[in-house]
A and B are shown apart, each in its own frame.
Chain A
């Protein structure tokens, strides 16, 4: 029981906020963060789409190995990895159990393994990109690749107000707790307490939205006074904003290396199987 309680204490909102902020902005020293965001986004596009069309275990395993390495390089926080593993195991484990019910046996695990591999590659590639680059770079990269300015700005602004939203959310939750009533008995595995917290999370959503709406009034006005909508229509402003992006030797090396590696994988798989 104590173990469950400890878990409850560990999963605090502060903790989640901190981990998210670390994932987003704590990447200043990661070696991937020095790469050009445009290159990295194209790289990501490849790793997010291509695995779905592959069938070879060798290629998939090789790609998976590669994204594991890049994930390590992007200095991701353990929290994200735990969430990812829980998600993968939950998802695929669930499918496996269902397949047993419908007359499957251990052999049905193999195709599921393939699915797991594909999911892992895509997830790890996402983590590499979103954890290895801070949102500013991603936003600049997207803008450079022709995504509308409003979208790329809202990505970076979303991260800016994340701590503000968390603060607000924490206060609303706290208001509920300070004036509410927790279940007196915890129930087996603290399920009553868990249900109580989940209910609060849902209740807290409405006040949070209202508070945010009130906040955004100033933000929208301030954006106007600081020439944001003017800048969106101004190609010179966009060019200036992106002038710091330069494709360098290391970008070419990284992209070239990746391409070579993938080509090697395909060749290996074609010649040995």
Chain B
């Protein structure tokens, strides 16, 4: 929707017939791209891996063609001026860029220095005011004298943003803010972006594949496929283009999926209404945010007759508890006895990250450790792996006190897969990477195991490549194979779904199933609630170094107060089912649609419908 005022000012970004090929590459990354962006808009750029999203954004601050010398064709205009005649330095004053690995973008030791850096380079006398103003916009004023390494991931991201704002850039490009941050920090970043967009008139472009965030914050969506712009549409229409999104492996918001599934189910339910030529079902506009989805589904439920008498019984709430055997019949594998952990910090202060943890983890459990950043999830994993030793209390793994044995000994039974797979790579090929431990420790059937691992993690075609140069999902598979190769009794995974696009994430879930054949107990630290819901048999909620709750996924998700206190975000399906009064909440859109369909066809009774009879 074009604002008439904007028409007169013209587009702030105008890309015409741009093609670009990186030096040394055969295929063009961008292929005849045409795109205009209006001032003051909030646009998301989506597309599969390698579709040219980042390259497109590098056109805007002149890195292409000035910094990357490839084959460049076409024209890019910023504020009506061609980028060909401007330098990167000139363009950067108008276009700010926040990288995906924003940590490497920060070059100064303190927050204020970092914010001053760019204006100082340009020799702007009011650099300090600019820096302070930028920090204020990003809500970092109170941290201005802190060192960078004392900041959390979210704060670092905001600082990278402030660094770009300090030059007074009118256009801000943010590359995948959600992938490196936990959900609550990501939301914080988006809130700031929204504020900048609405109250300060900044034009914002995000590269994003989390459609929930796009639905909540963006106005327009531009879809890229193999270096081409397929379309640019207003957000509601864009996220309802289900066919295109599905084809490119981008998941629409869960509520949209649920609505689409439900519509499809209803079509098959009522053959009289079914009409193959009726394109309406596919063309229909489904809700894209939870706020719009609640009234949408409530309207559908209101069509129900209200006299259904039977008390509503949950169909699923007990199933999750089925595998909870009495504790005395199970084998404990990990025991925490009042374990605490302290770290020393730069100012010679001690910081406690875990307070007196008492926990017993049993064999054959799939445990999800959830909590926001800084809750102590990683520290707990490190205690189990023996990487950190408890400052107080004790941790026993398979009846051995972790303080009495070395990491090398403990790691025969416990595999630890780092959050960042790249940190695990010490060899120059995938094959050597997996074989390293098998050879070094002289496992008897090393070659067989290696072959089996390569096969079951689908790494055979990649086995001679350097693992550092693989894509995110492939790297993750290598890291899991490294961990599983030694057939550990316990496997610890730190944020395995972080930084993965959704197709890769699905693949990871399949890989986790695969893992169950190799490992007895798996512990995952994550804030991915969908993963928790689909995979875990036991959920431990951590907050501020303490265990806040411990139970089944159903028990934990049924307690919104708990989730809120732990700083976690429920999936849209869960939120929606809670708002519609469905207990226990549904974890996935398919489940939700199915449930609603059964209610609508009278196979299950809706609690709200039953309630008038009970009161």
Indicate, yes or no, whether A interacts with B. Answer: yes
Q: Give the interface of A toward B (CB within 8 A).
A: 14, 18, 21-22, 25-26, 134-136, 156-157, 159-160, 163-164, 168, 171-172, 174-182, 203-204, 207, 210-211, 214-216, 218-219, 221-231, 234, 236-237, 239-241
Chain A: CB-nearest residue to B87: A230
Q: A14-B344, A25-B109, A234-B123 are in contact. Are A218 and B148 (CB under 8 A)?
A: no
Contacts of B378 in A (CB 8 A): none
Instruction: Chain A residues near B97: list those with CB within 8 A.
Output: 222, 225
Partner of A218, one of B99, B124, B482: B99
In the complex, what residues of B have CB within 8 A of residue A181's CB?
408, 440-442
Separation of A157 and B105 alpha carbons in the complex (Å): 11
B401 at the interface (CB under 8 A from A): no
* Cα distance A231–B92 in the bound complex, in angstroms: 13
Nearest-neighbor residue (CB-CB) of A229 within chain B: B89
Would A227 and B346 be within 8 Å (CB), given that A156-B109, A178-B385, A181-B408 are in contact? Answer: no
Assembly CA distance A180 to B276 (angstroms): 62
Is the pair B89, A178 in contact by a Cβ cutoff of 8 Å?
no
Partner of B118, one of A156, A216, A227: A227
B88 in the interface (beta carbon within 8 A): yes
Q: Which of B67, B89, B127, B415 has the most CB of A within 10 A?
A: B89
> Is B327 among interface residues, defined by CB-CB distance under 8 A?
no
Judge if B107 is at the interface, Cβ distance under 8 Å. yes
State how many angstroms separate the Cβ of A140 from the closest Cβ of chain B.
11
Residues of chain A lying within 8 A (CB to CB) of residue B149: 163-164
Select B121's contact among A18, A178, A216, A226, beta carbons within 8 Å: A226
Can you list 5 residue pairs at the A/B interface with Cβ under 8 Å? Answer: A14-B344, A175-B426, A224-B67, A231-B120, A236-B123
- Give the docked Cα–Cα distance between A203 and B468 (Å): 17
Chain A residues near B406 (CB-CB < 8 A): 182
Q: Assess the B120–A237 pair: CB atoms within 8 A.
A: yes
Contact (Cβ within 8 A) B92 A218? no
B148 & A160 in contact (Cβ 8 Å cutoff): yes
B557 within 8 A of A: no
Are A135 and B109 interface neighbours, CB within 8 A? yes
Complex CA–CA separation, A212 to B319 (angstroms): 49
B92 touches A226 (CB 8 A): yes
Question: Ordered nearest first, which 5 A-B pairs have the shortest CB separation?
Answer: A231-B121, A230-B89, A179-B437, A237-B123, A171-B423
Q: Are B121 and A227 in contact (CB under 8 A)?
A: yes
The answer to whether A172 touches B101, judged by C-beta atoms less than 8 angstroms apart, is no
Q: What is the distance, in angstroms, from A219's C-beta to the closest C-beta of chain B? A: 5
B231 to chain A, nearest CB (A): 29
CB-CB under 8 A for A179 and B411, given A164-B103, A237-B121: yes
User: B213 at interface (Cβ–Cβ under 8 A)?
Assistant: no
User: Which B391-417 residues sit within 8 Å CB-CB of chain A?
Assistant: 406-409, 411, 415-416
A26-B346, A176-B426 are known contacts. Are A222 and B107 too (CB-CB below 8 A)?
yes
B468 A210 Cβ-Cβ under 8 A: yes
List of B residues within 8 angstroms of A175 by Cβ? 418, 423-426
A22 with B348: CB separation less than 8 A: yes
B416 touches A178 (CB 8 A): yes
B296 CB-CB contact with A under 8 Å: no
Asked if B422 is at the interface of the complex by the 8 Å CB criterion, the answer is yes
Indicate if the CB atoms of A174 and B387 lie closer than 8 Å: yes
Identify A215's interface contact among B104, B118, B163, CB under 8 A. B104
Q: Which residues of B contact A160 (CB under 8 A)?
A: 106-109, 148
Closest chain A residue, CB of each to CB of B347: A26
Min distance, Cβ A160 to any Cβ of chain B, angstroms: 5
Least CB distance, A207 to chain B, in whole angstroms? 5
Q: Determine how close the nearest CB of chain B comes to the CB of A8; give it in whole angstroms.
A: 11
How many Å lie between the Cα of A211 and that of B109 in the bound state? 21
B422 contacts A222, CB within 8 Å? no
> Which of B88, B147, B348 is packed against the most chain A CB atoms within 10 Å?
B88
Cα distance A268–B93 in the bound complex, in angstroms: 61
Chain A contact surface mostly: helix
Which single residue of chain A is at the shortest CB-CB distance from B442?
Answer: A181
**B426: contacting residue among A18, A207, A227, A228, CB under 8 A:** A207
B interface residue numbers (CB < 8 A to A): 61, 63, 67, 87-89, 92-93, 97, 99, 101, 103-109, 113, 117-118, 120-125, 127, 147-149, 163, 167, 343-348, 385, 387, 406-409, 411, 415-416, 418, 420, 422-426, 436-437, 440-442, 468, 482, 486
Complex CA–CA separation, A56 to B163 (angstroms):
54
Which residues of the other chain, B, contact A157 by a CB distance below 8 angstroms? 107
What residues on B are CB-neighbors of A25 within 8 Å? Answer: 109, 147, 346
Within the assembled complex, what's the spacing in Å between the Cα atoms of A44 and B577?
70
> In the assembled complex, which residues on chain B have CB atoms less than 8 Å from the CB atom of A22?
346, 348
Q: Which residue of A lies closest to B469 (CB)?
A: A214
Q: How far is the CB of B166 from chain A (nearest CB, A)?
A: 9
* Contact assessment for A226 and B118 in the assembled complex, using a CB-CB cutoff below 8 Å: yes
Given the known A-B contacts A14-B344, A160-B109, are A221 and B121 also in contact in the complex, defined by CB atoms under 8 Å? no
Whether B101 pairs with A177 at a CB distance below 8 angstroms is no
Closest residue of chain B to A231 (Cβ to Cβ) is: B121
CA distance A205 to B14 in the complex (A): 46
The residue of chain B having its C-beta at the shortest distance from the C-beta of A237 within the complex is: B123
* Cβ B99 vs Cβ A240 within 8 A: no
Give B344's nearest chain A residue, CB to CB.
Answer: A18
Question: Which residue in chain A gives the minimum CB-CB distance to B127?
Answer: A240
Docked complex Cα distance between A226 and B113 (Å): 13
Q: Tell me the minimal C-beta distance from B215 to chain A in angstroms.
A: 29
A236 and B280 CA atoms in complex are apart in Å by 64
Question: How far is B408's CA from A175's CA once the two chains are assembled, in angstroms?
Answer: 10
CB < 8 Å neighbour of B92 from A14, A225, A236, A237? A225
Q: How far does the alpha carbon of A26 sit from the alpha carbon of B409 in the complex, in Å?
A: 37
Q: Given A156-B108, A182-B406, 12 more contacts at CB 8 Å? A: A14-B344, A160-B107, A164-B149, A176-B426, A177-B407, A219-B105, A222-B97, A224-B89, A226-B107, A226-B121, A226-B167, A227-B92
Asked if A218 and B105 make an inter-chain contact with CB atoms under 8 angstroms apart, the answer reads: yes
Contact status A224-B63, CB under 8 Å? yes
- For residue A28, give the distance in angstroms from its CB to the closest CB of chain B: 9
Known: A160-B148, A176-B426, A182-B406. A222 touches B105 (CB 8 A): yes
Chain A residues with Cβ under 8 A from B123's Cβ? Answer: 231, 234, 236-237, 239-240
- Chain A residues, CB < 8 A from B87: 230
B437 in contact with A214 (CB, 8 Å)? no
Measured between C-beta atoms, what is the minimum distance from A236 to chain B in Å?
4
Q: In the complex, are the beta carbons of A182 and B121 less than 8 A apart?
A: no
Residues of B contacting A207 in the complex (Cβ-Cβ under 8 angstroms): 425-426
Instruction: Indicate if the CB atoms of B107 and A214 lie closer than 8 Å.
Output: no
Instruction: With A22-B346, A25-B109, A179-B411 as known contacts, state yes or no: A172 contacts B426, CB within 8 Å.
Output: yes
Bound CA–CA A43/B128 (angstroms): 31
CA distance A177 to B405 in the complex (A): 13
List chain A residues, Cβ under 8 A from B436.
179-180
Q: Are B423 and A168 in contact (CB under 8 A)?
A: yes
List the A side residues contacting B426 at CB < 8 Å.
172, 175-176, 179, 203-204, 207
By beta carbon, the residue of chain B nearest A15 is B344
Chain B nearest CB from A192 CB (Å) reads 13
Q: Tell me the bound Cα distance from A172 to B422 in angstroms.
A: 9
When the two chains form their complex, are residues B63 and A221 in contact, meaning their CB atoms are under 8 A apart? yes
The residues of A that contact B486 with a CB separation of less than 8 Å are 179
Q: Considering the chains assembled together, what is the distance between the CA atoms of A227 and B61 in angstroms?
A: 12
Complex partner residue of B104 from A219, A227, A231, A236, CB under 8 angstroms: A219
For the complex, what is the distance from the CA of A168 to the CA of B418, rounded to whole Å?
12
Chain B residue, CB-CB nearest to A180: B440
CA distance A44 to B44 in the complex (A): 55
Cα(A180)–Cα(B408), bound, Å? 6
Residue ID in chain B nearest A240 by CB atoms: B123
Q: Measured between alpha carbons, how far is A230 from B385 in the docked complex, in Å?
A: 48
Shortest Cβ gap from A150 to chain B (Å):
13
By a CB distance below 8 angstroms, the chain B residues around A227 are 89, 92-93, 118, 121-122, 167
> Which chain A residue has the least Cβ–Cβ distance from B58?
A221
CB B608 to nearest CB in A, in angstroms, measures 52
